[in-house]
Amino acid sequence: MTQAAIIDGKAFAARLRQTIAAEVAALKAEHGLTPGLAVVLVGEDPASQVYVRSKGEQTLEAGMHSETHRLPAETSQAELLALVERLNSDPAVHGVLVQFPVPDHISQAAVVAAISPDKDVDGLTVANAGRLASGLPALTPCTPTGCMMLLRDQLGELSGKRAVVIGRSNLMGKPMAQLLLAADCTVTIAHSRTKDLPAVVREADIVVAAVGRPQMVKADWVKPGAVVIDVGINRIPKDDGQENGGKTRLVGDVAFDEVKAVASAITPVPGGVGPMTIACLLANTVLAAKRLNGIGE
């Protein structure tokens, strides 16, 4: 039985970070411009702390300016919005990212709305979502942007492909579908109310699973030869069903072991889509810095 090519997102992201570092060096040398990313963390969520630390480290490794603002969990919404406002007008900062989730007393929507669309390197503002949907230059959400890079690398031309995106979140499913549409794919967005999801997925040349349900997409859902991009990050017990001292492992939304016997290419979890997210955050920050300084793309 033929096996799918395993798409190495970790290696791809490492190459992308090298390209970004070279571009940052050129921007410094030719324009005296150092792209800068400000990350704001409210509270002490352990997973968020790990993400924020990685973002800071990788920003510095690329030769960029990095600042991390750690605020206590009891910070008021007004205080957080005032910091965002200050970062919006700081010329050393070209990207502003507030790590989600924020504590319950703060409105995530209000935080997103406060970020200047020109510095919205997470691509979450209504302005950037609208620009993407309208075919205008936008800052696009990092994970879907990374998925597109992997797909282009794997398939080359995407025009005319049938794509099914499972999931319709503002962060992932919707922008993914818009990016595929902009690349001239024929796109279906599936969600929890979709009828006969396996039949819908079986039509796809490209499957993007962004659901948050461990190993949901099975081999008999996938058209032979399809390319499968697994965005899901799910933690399950290490030895399913057995006593294991609470040990867990990461799996995606796709039943990897069986689907890799049907697909032509597939991203693993971990090591597929995940590493692309921060690399695309750096790329968005460089793009924002260039646009804010009138430097051509």
List of residues contacting ligand NAP (CB under 6 A)? 143, 166-169, 171-173, 190-194, 197, 210-213, 231-234, 273-274, 277
The residue whose two tokens read 């993007």 is: 208
Closer Cβ to ligand NAP, 62 or 208, answer by number: 208
In the complex with ligand NAP, the residue whose CB is nearer, 75 or 95, is 95
Active site residue 45: no
Cα–Cα dist 108/129, whole Å: 16
Look up 10 and say whether it is catalytic.
Answer: no
Which is nearer to ligand NAP, 2 or 192 (by Cβ)?
A: 192
CB of 236 to ligand NAP, least distance (A): 12
Region of residue 19 (left: phi > 0; alpha: psi -120 to 50; beta: else): alpha
Query: Among positive and negative, which fits the CA dihedral 232, 238, 239, 245?
Result: negative
Q: Tell me how far, at minimum, the Cβ of 45 lies from ligand NAP, in Å.
A: 14
Out of 122, 205, 230, 253, the active site residue is: 122
Nearest of 72, 70, 76 to residue 106 by alpha carbon: 76
Cβ atoms of 112 and 242 within 8 Å: the answer is no
Decide: helix, strand or coil at residue 267. coil
Q: Which of 55, 223, 260, 290 is catalytic?
A: 55
Question: What is the spatial distance between Cα 131 and Cα 269, in angstroms, rounded to a whole number?
Answer: 31
Residue closer to ligand NAP (CB basis): 63 or 270: 270
Catalytic residue among 58, 99, 178, 215: 99
Query: What pairs with residue 206 in β-bridges?
Result: 163, 227
In angstroms, give the least distance from the CB of 208 to ligand NAP.
10
Q: What is the DSSP string of 129-191?
A: HHHHHHTS-----HHHHHHHHHHHHHHS--TT-EEEEE---TTTHHHHHHHHHHTT-EEEEE-
Determine the distance from the C-alpha atom of residue 20 to the mean position of all C-alpha atoms in its chain, rounded to a whole number. Answer: 17
CB of 100 to ligand NAP, least distance (A): 10
Reported as type and span, the H/E element at residue 42 is strand 36-42
With respect to ligand NAP, which residue has the nearer C-beta, 234 or 293?
234
Residue 192 CB, nearest approach to ligand NAP (Å): 3
Q: Is 122 a catalytic residue?
A: yes
Task: Tell me the catalytic residues.
Answer: 55, 99, 122
